[in-house]
Structure formats: structure tokens, C-alpha cells
Amino acid sequence: MLSEHLKLLIKRESKEVLGRRYTNLWLLTLVLTAMFVSIAFSNGSLDYLSYKMNDPFTNWVNISNGYGSSQFGRFHTAIEDPAIQQHYGFSDVQADKQFSLSFVASDGRIHYLQNRFFGSLNSDLVKAILSEDNVVGGSAIDYNKLNDKTVGFIITEDVLHKLNYTDDNIPGYIDHLSPSSGADTLGVKLIDDLFGLAPVPVLGVVKRLPGNMDMIAARYFFEQYNNDTKYPFDLNNKAYQQSLIFFADESVSKDDILAAARDAAPDSLRNSISIAGDEYDSYAQLQSWKPGEIYSLYIEDINLLPIEVVQGIAAGIENKFKETADVKRVFDYDGSEHTLPEYDFLSVNFSSLDSIRAFEAFAKDGYNVQIEMSQVNAKENFNAVSVMANILSWAMIVFSMICIIMFIVNMLQSYFQKVKRNIGTFKAFGINSESLISVYSLIIVLIVIVAIVIALAIAWGAQGLLPQLGVLKDGAFNYLSLWSMKTVWSIVIVVVATLLTVRFVMGRLLHSTPGDLIYDRN
């Protein structure tokens, strides 16, 4: 327990140490606030850089098959070797195709859109594309439901608007303008007597796609699109037109679909229409992002019915829900084995950017395959910025620590010159140097702790307020991130450094005798 005279000493000396109008407290708070804001900014910047560095959008290298290298196939085979991948720090090698297709908007306008067909949808890149921060309005299919024979498309928000939809009205399916000459004889409404509207699933709507693509899909779609033996998206297919398969969103039940079908059917057929059950999993390749079910209507000997009757039932079901729900007739596209040996690009996803330059040399020197240097330079620069940001982060913290220690040293020396006669008197009355050092250590540490609390509150307030004003923010990403182990360690270091500084400085100042202090003898 402190004696009464020490308590009085602490009370009186605290006011002196704080300075007039708490000047020293506010100056210390200002320095600490600058330090904590620097820490918050460095944390946020490093978090953002880490996010970008680990984003396959950034780590994704696009290697074109357009430089005329006769060894491109050998290069493709070489980089599929796990040992090569491990050595250069990459994975997810796939052969992609780029091609543009036409789609029809809800207002009837036709749009020619650029597509990238990935060798596999089960990749880190596609997983990143469907990440929560890139998806618009939660409109993304479960990544685990994707497979190499999925026929749907991931589209950008810009394409969504081109197709005359809004962020609040995202469709489950969009219409691909598919060559279907002759399908009008089966009751299909054609555009320019040549093209039908083949519905394909929307797997997700995203803010951005790599390479500024409009849409991406599995290469399976492109292979089937070029399937000369059996083009599955041709609607001039009697089996398609004699099937009644419908997607219905969550607001529509199986009974609703069945009732709509019976209302649209001739009286003689109403009691013969049924739905076997929920068959969503039976049509895995037709699944879209939108929650709902796919139903297949069963009518005995439907293939013997006039095609007009079947088309009338289909139209009746869609018209029934046109204004109230998303009900869409779809087709179970009958694909077949058909692979295309040629491809336009290789996609390589790097887990580390350290070996980008070495990989570029490996491709060029070993296989005469050139990687566009702008990609390599950009990724190397990105890696360098990350290292520099980390160094600058710690440099700012060390600089702040030095400023705080210098402030405390100068404050104590200045204060000591004012009160050293009083301190000499205290020592003359029997208060030893260790007690005085303890008193001043307690005073300064308490002031520092109060300054830390105020500075943390200010920095935390800035972290919450500035993004609201559109400052230090990139989309949903906040460049200020105060709370981290770096902040905790900084507080510990400040308090310990303060305690050690006070004990060292006061120890040197108090080594003089009471007489030397009272009479100002050097």
C-alpha cells in the first residue's frame, strides 16, 4: 500500500506531468492516434493485398495458343506434370476456348456476347468467380453442383442489364439463339425462320469476369455447339417438343404445375396428366442458380398426340404463371461424346507469384511458348508491392514508437528541470529514489494508458466513419483494420517501452544528492 505522502505526491505531480490544460496528454494522444491509424491502414492495406494476391483473378495466367508454336501441345502436357506444378507454384491447368454466341433479351433484342468456355468448372478460378463478394444479389449456384457437363452460363451484371433484366429480377434461364431450321413445323416460334430460343441455365450473375468476358461456361457447351453428328441445342427435335419439362421457382408447387397443365389440356386428357415427383436431381445439367424444382409431366402415349396439343399445354402452363412466378419450359438437351482437340488458351492458376518470371522463361526456352509479358510484369509488381507494404507497415510502427519514447524522454527532462528542487526536498525528508521512480513510472504509465484508450477510440471511430463517407474504401473492402495482433503487440510494446524509459531516465536524473538537486549543483 502507498503511504499517504506518496498518494499526495502522485496526485500533485500528476497535474504537473499532464501539463497546462492536459497538453502532454493530448500531444501523447495525438502521437498514439497517428500510430494506431497507421497500424489500421497498414493492416487494411495488407489484408487487401493478401486478398488480391490470393485471388485467382490476380494469380490467373492466360497463355494464348496464338503465337504459332508447334510445341504448344507438348507444353500443355508438360505443365500437367505435378512435379512441374509444384516447382513453379501453380495448379488448375485447363484448356479453354473463346467464342461469341447470340442471346435474346426479354424485349426481343439480340445480343452477341463474348464467351470463355473453361475446360473445367471445378477450379479455384470459378470458385473465386462465384465468391460472395463478386456475386450479385446472392444469385449463384452451389459451386459443388457444377460439373464438366453443366450447360449453364455465369454472366456479368452488365449482360444481365443488356438482356433487359434488373438486379431484383434475375432469371433462372436465358434464351440462346440456336440454329433450329424446320422447328416451326413442330410449333416452335422461329426468328428469321432459322433460329429458335433454347433456354440455358443462369449459374450466377457476377460483378466481374476475368479477361473482361461477358459470360463463361463449361467447354462441354461449346463442344456440343460444334457437334456435327448431333447438335443437341437444335429445337427441331420431335422428342424435345413432345416432352413437357418445366422449371418452377419456390413460389410454385407441384400441384400448381399439375393444375395449370390440366387447365390447358383438352378435356379428354386432363385426368391422364401426372407428375411422377420432384426430379430436380434427374436434370442436374439444367440446374440454375434459382431455388426451385424441375418437373416433368407424364401423359400416356404423348408421342402419339398431335404436336399442337402438346405445345398448347406448354404455352398454357407458362401463361398461367407469366405475371406471378418464374416458370420456364426447358429441354433435356441430349448431348453426345464430342471433343474438340483445338483450344485457344491454357489457364494456369498460381498459388505463389514468386516463380512467375521463371515460369515464363521455362515456357519460352523449353517450348517456344510466349506468355504475354504484361501479365508477368503486373504479377511481379504486385508481389513487390506486397513486400514493400509489409516493410512500410512495420517501419511506421517503429517510427511511432521512437516518437513516443522521445516525447516521454523530453517531457520528463523538461519536467524534471522545473521540479528538481522539490524532488531534492522529498529526498531530504527520506523518500528514496526507488519510491520516486515508482511514483513517476505509475503516473506516466497511467497517462499513457489513458492516451492509448482515447487514441484507440478515435482510430476505431475513423475506421467506422470514413468508409461511410466513401473514404479509404474499395467497394465493400475497408482499408482500415485496427483490431489485430499487431495492435495488441503495439500496445504492449508502448507500455513496456514507457515503463523502461521512465525508469531509465528518472534513474539517471535522481542519482544526484538532495543538496545537488536543491541548490542546482551539476
Site of grid cell 509489409: 390
Whether pLDDT at 278 is above 60: no
3-state secondary structure 158-213: HHHHHCCCECCECCCEEEEEEECCCHHHHCCCCECCCEEEEEEEEEEEECCCHHHC
Smallest Cα–Cα separation from 102: which of 153, 46, 149, 37? 153
Q: What is the percent of the chain with per-residue pLDDT over 90, rounded to a whole number?
A: 36
Tell me what pLDDT residue 14 has.
65
Domains in the chain: ranges and CATH = 4-53+378-518 (no CATH), 68-88+354-369 (no CATH), 90-237+340-350 (no CATH), 238-330 (3.30.70)
Tell me what pLDDT residue 498 has.
84
Whether pLDDT at 169 is above 80: yes
Tell me what pLDDT residue 222 has.
92
Residues 356-412 pLDDT 10s: 888 988 998 988 888 876 766 766 777 777 778 778 777 877 887 788 788 878 877
Tell me what pLDDT residue 61 has.
85
| Highest-scoring range by mean pLDDT, 66-80, 182-196, 351-365 | 182-196
Q: Please report which confidence band the pLDDT of residue 65 belongs to, taking 50, 70 and 90 as the band edges.
A: confident
Q: In terms of pLDDT, which residue wins out, 72 or 429?
A: 72
Copy the grid coordinates of residue 3: 503511504
CB-CB contact of 479 with 136 (8 Å): no
Q: Please report which confidence band the pLDDT of residue 160 belongs to, taking 50, 70 and 90 as the band edges.
A: very high
Tell me what pLDDT residue 1 has.
46
Tell me what pLDDT residue 284 has.
83
Arithmetic mean of pLDDT over the chain? 84
Copy the grid coordinates of residue 414: 523538461
| Highest-scoring range by mean pLDDT, 106-115, 129-138, 225-234, 405-414 | 106-115
Copy the grid coordinates of residue 58: 490476380
